[in-house]
Amino acid sequence: MQKVKDKYRVSISCHDGSLVKGTIHVYEGLRVLDFLNLGNDAFIIVTDAEISASREPRSFQLYADFKEKKDIIMLNKKAIKWLEEIKKI
């Protein structure tokens, strides 16, 4: 039996300077932060991902030219510098 998941549109800044915008699927009842801190998974799945090299963050708004789109990617949690929740879908 699969658990119901909530969808969140997010912007993720990675330590290598790349930016990922997409949708993450969080177990129902968990906050995004709680989901990221779950110790049993080293990776998160991002769907409808747009990947680019970021220019610079300004007041938690990232400005970048998107260069690649993927239906699904797996992102190592250790690569995440910060994550901004845009909206719940």
Do 82 and 9 meet the contact criterion of CB atoms below 8 Å apart?
A: no
Task: Quote the number of domains for the chain.
Answer: 1
- Assign residue 20 the CATH number of its domain: 2.30.30.100
85 pLDDT higher than 80? yes
* Cβ 22 vs Cβ 10: under 8 Å: yes
The model's confidence at residue 61, banded by pLDDT at 50, 70 and 90, is: low
pLDDT score recorded for residue 48:
97
Residue 20 to residue 12: CA distance in whole angstroms: 5
Mean pLDDT of the chain: 85
Instruction: Please report, rounded to a whole number, the percentage of residues in the chain having pLDDT higher than 90.
Output: 56
pTM: 0.79
In this prediction, residue 60 carries a pLDDT of 56
Q: Does the structure show a pLDDT above 70 at 63? A: no
Mean pLDDT to the nearest integer, 16-30: 91
Is the Cα dihedral 64, 67, 69, 73 positive or negative? negative
Domain holding 11, by residue range, is: 5-88
